Chains A and B, each alone.
Chain A
Amino acid sequence: MRGLVLDDVAITLDARPLVGPLSLDVAPGEVVTVMGPSGSGKSTLLAYVGGFLAKAFAARGRVLVDDLDVTGMPPEKRAVGILFQDDLLFPHLTVGGNLAFGLRAGVREASRRRAIVEEALAQAGLAGFADRDPATLSGGQRARVALLRTLLAEPRALLLDEPFGKLDAALRQDVRAFVFARARDRGLPTLMVTHDAEDARAAGGRVVEVG
């Protein structure tokens, strides 16, 4: 099936069970929220799906993206985009440079790359921001740019690791709506971990409790 599949995933730390066993199908365009208190291993689950599981953990089970088994693959081969709690915009590149960094290399001509980047910015209400330094942006703007950068890499699934946790309340709603709308438009299966019930409500999808 298309979408993101977690098949009987269980993660242990020092032989103690931490998460799972958990099986989950996330359909294209669907947002599934994993909720749990801190220390419940929900971020560890996301790290496992993204391919970043630290050596200290042991895991079993499979992860499939559009029917492709990515379980043993390094993160860069999985085509799974991640948004972290920090936007992690690269400070040595401009806003446009950060987006071009995300844009796949298949688009070769510089002018074409530039046009795609500017179009993405314009659609996000950030027209004319390409040459700005990321440090001059507001938190909400940075969060948008981080999502745009991830989407330009054309992932087949999206992981959200408490992505709104550091935004203040007024911005949070805005950015949330922006992220969920984009993920749906692109038909991305999206897995979000959070401890904020409001996030889950806004996502409007299934909620899985862990821990």
Chain B
Amino acid sequence: MTTRPDVLRAAPALTLALFLVPIGAGLLGTLAPAFGVLPAIGESGFTLDAWRTLAEQPGIDASIRLTLTSGLLSTALALVFACGFAALASSRPGIARLERALAPLLATPHVAVAIGLAFLVASSGLLVRVVSPWLTGWERPPALAIVRDPYGLSYVAGLAIKETAFLVLMVLAAQGQVRAAQALAAARALGYAPLVAWAKVVLPAIYRQIRLPVYAVLAFSLSNVEVALVLAPGTPPPLAVLAMRWFSSWDLSLYPVAAAAATLQLAVVVAGIGAWRVAEAFVKRIHRAWCERGRRTGLAGPVLALGGAGGVVSGVAILAAIGVMALWSIAENWRYPDALPRALSLRTWERALPTMSDLVSTTAAIAAAASLLAVILALACLENEARRDLKPGARALWLLYVPLLVPQIAFLFGAQVALVRLDLDGTLTAVIWAHLLFVLPYVFLSLADPFRALDPRYARIAAGLGASPWRTFFTVKLPMLARPVATAFAVGFSVSVALYLPTLFAGAGRIMTLTTEAVTLSSGADRRVVGVTAFLQAALPLLVYAAALAGPGLIAARRRRVTLREGTP
């Protein structure tokens, strides 16, 4: 028997190192300059100057307040929408059928949703046009800041609408694991109305399962830049946008202030998640007392029904957002207050084609590379786990969520400094690596359940037939997992396409994708060009999703045809 060094054994460590090292180094690289340690510009003494400057910034307190309120509110809304939808779906098959629309909603990037929503609801947007001037009397766009309103309401709505789809997916998956239908039946037999029963007996069981995804949504809502640039107010903007402005100014003396703002952003996310946890404990106590009072009907019913309606409206809003972007991209002449364009043409597409083909190929190359790497790493970790019969603990799951919980801006800045040292900044390698940090968790989560659910007896039978573990992996397991692998790739692809800050930082502003371009254009460019860019940004992951769903099916269909031909005499 030969003993070869087993590369597989190193897979988990390698995977963790690939994403924990940049995050750790990045955090350090952000923290140090915030406290005056920035060797690159000759500063190395500990000082709180940056914090003093930060505290003196006009509107900094308003910015923190806006960040916290919009983040907490949008997450709470998305959670109520998602729970309402799941509760309705568990008692109404008609609603449950809408689950099929989930994949396109998940695949649509945040920026595309935000831009499309802005096209819909802006004071010169489609909705106003449809009712003007005959109903509103507005002969010209009203001077109303509906998008980027000072209270951040459109920002909250945009985040909630996009995150609902993700939380619906998580809630439905959790519901499948906790035998929700039986608990629901038991509660209804005791006289509880369906939605009240759901709130009392299903919700506590699933919440435990979706807690990490909820924290990830909260962390993103508290710290994203891309949705904020399109939908949030600008004076003052949310904290992450503020930090971003200072980072991207050419003034090196602003770097420590930017680093302090990014550090503050980390503290805001920690505080936000902490506040959420406190609220969880509080709600848990109230919930228990509420269960023990024995009321069979109540406010929970209408609240969940309303939330479910909000969930459905969110889905419709995303589809409408994609639609209005497509319409703008082919609009020839669409003046206010015409409800529809006077003429349609492909002129904008023709003119944009050279730029777009570059953007699409860069975006697709980065997304495909990052997703492929992520699929390989995830498969290696899972196969290692299967061969060694390891049981992954809850702590491993937390590690996986680290890139989704730590605010991007808090470590990307420091990571960029490290990339400059390694002479990697602005290279495709750096961008792909940065994308991998965010793609890997989603790819792993989407692959893990189907991989672990695979009947281990197939591998045992193959071994009994004399197949080596690797041969079993490639000729038995992988083909059986073709569909989940393809889906995981598509999930990773759509995550990568949507990434904004990682592209910007690791690409040092030199590598442009559809997303960075869409964000840049969204502030004031021709709506038709924005429409082309944002529509492509939404369409690209959708195409990959569709291919991932169809591909394995086609292969299987061909196999059946072949068998049939060979089998018939």
Question: Which residues does A use to contact B, with CB under 8 Å?
Answer: 50-52, 55, 74-77, 79-82, 84, 86, 88, 90-93, 96-97, 100-105, 107, 110, 113, 149-150, 153
Please report the C-alpha to C-alpha distance between residue A110 and residue B292 in the assembled complex, in whole angstroms.
9
Nearest-CB distance from B511 to chain A (Å)?
49
| B527 contacts A by Cβ under 8 Å | no
Q: Evaluate whether A97 and B292 lie within 8 angstroms (CB atoms) in the complex, with A91-B205, A149-B190 already known.
A: yes
Report whether A104 and B191 are in contact in the complex, using a CB–CB cutoff of 8 Å. yes
Please report the C-alpha to C-alpha distance between residue A105 and residue B192 in the assembled complex, in whole angstroms.
11
List B209-263 residues whose CB lies under 8 Å from chain A.
none
Report whether B93 and A55 are in contact in the complex, using a CB–CB cutoff of 8 Å. yes
Interface SS, B side:
helix
Please report the C-alpha to C-alpha distance between residue A150 and residue B185 in the assembled complex, in whole angstroms.
12
Please report the C-alpha to C-alpha distance between residue A19 and residue B188 in the assembled complex, in whole angstroms.
24
Nearest-CB distance from A158 to chain B (Å)?
10
Give the most central of B185, B200, B288: most A CB within 10 Å. Answer: B185
Report whether A74 and B291 are in contact in the complex, using a CB–CB cutoff of 8 Å. no
- Chain B residues, Cβ within 8 Å of A149: 190
Q: Evaluate whether A76 and B293 lie within 8 angstroms (CB atoms) in the complex, with A82-B189, A84-B182 already known.
A: no
Q: Which of A55, A84, A92, A101 contacts B190 (CB 8 A)?
A: A101
Report whether A104 and B294 are in contact in the complex, using a CB–CB cutoff of 8 Å. yes
- Chain A residues, Cβ within 8 Å of B185: 50, 52, 75, 82, 84
Q: Evaluate whether A105 and B296 lie within 8 angstroms (CB atoms) in the complex, with A79-B191, A92-B288 already known.
A: yes
Q: Which of B190, B204, B293 contacts A102 (CB 8 A)?
A: B190
Report whether A93 and B291 are in contact in the complex, using a CB–CB cutoff of 8 Å. yes
Provide a sorted-by-A list of 24 A–B residue pairs whose CB atoms are within 8 angstroms: A50-B185, A76-B191, A82-B185, A82-B189, A84-B182, A88-B183, A90-B204, A92-B201, A93-B288, A100-B291, A100-B293, A100-B294, A101-B190, A101-B200, A101-B291, A101-B292, A102-B190, A103-B294, A104-B191, A104-B294, A104-B296, A105-B295, A149-B190, A153-B191
- Chain B residues, Cβ within 8 Å of A92: 201, 204-205, 288, 291
| B194 contacts A by Cβ under 8 Å | yes
Report whether B293 and A105 are in contact in the complex, using a CB–CB cutoff of 8 Å. yes
- Chain A residues, Cβ within 8 Å of B293: 100, 105, 110, 113
Please report the C-alpha to C-alpha distance between residue A90 and residue B292 in the assembled complex, in whole angstroms.
12
Please report the C-alpha to C-alpha distance between residue A82 and residue B186 in the assembled complex, in whole angstroms.
7
Closest residue of A by beta carbon distance from B289: A110
- Chain A residues, Cβ within 8 Å of B200: 101
With an 8 Å Cβ cutoff, the count of chain B residues facing the other chain is 25
Nearest-CB distance from B188 to chain A (Å)?
4
- Chain B residues, Cβ within 8 Å of A52: 185, 188
Report whether B288 and A97 are in contact in the complex, using a CB–CB cutoff of 8 Å. yes
Report whether B294 and A102 are in contact in the complex, using a CB–CB cutoff of 8 Å. yes
Please report the C-alpha to C-alpha distance between residue A77 and residue B297 in the assembled complex, in whole angstroms.
11
Nearest-CB distance from A153 to chain B (Å)?
5
| B8 contacts A by Cβ under 8 Å | no
Report whether B292 and A93 are in contact in the complex, using a CB–CB cutoff of 8 Å. yes
12 further interface pairs, Cβ-Cβ under 8 Å (given A88-B182, A97-B288): A50-B185, A75-B188, A75-B189, A80-B189, A88-B186, A90-B186, A96-B292, A101-B190, A103-B294, A104-B296, A110-B293, A149-B190
Nearest-CB distance from A205 to chain B (Å)?
22
Report whether B190 and A97 are in contact in the complex, using a CB–CB cutoff of 8 Å. no
Report whether A86 and B189 are in contact in the complex, using a CB–CB cutoff of 8 Å. no
| B193 contacts A by Cβ under 8 Å | yes
Please report the C-alpha to C-alpha distance between residue A83 and residue B15 in the assembled complex, in whole angstroms.
48
Nearest 3 CB-CB pairs, A to B?
A100-B292, A92-B204, A88-B186
- Chain A residues, Cβ within 8 Å of B194: 74, 76
Please report the C-alpha to C-alpha distance between residue A75 and residue B190 in the assembled complex, in whole angstroms.
9
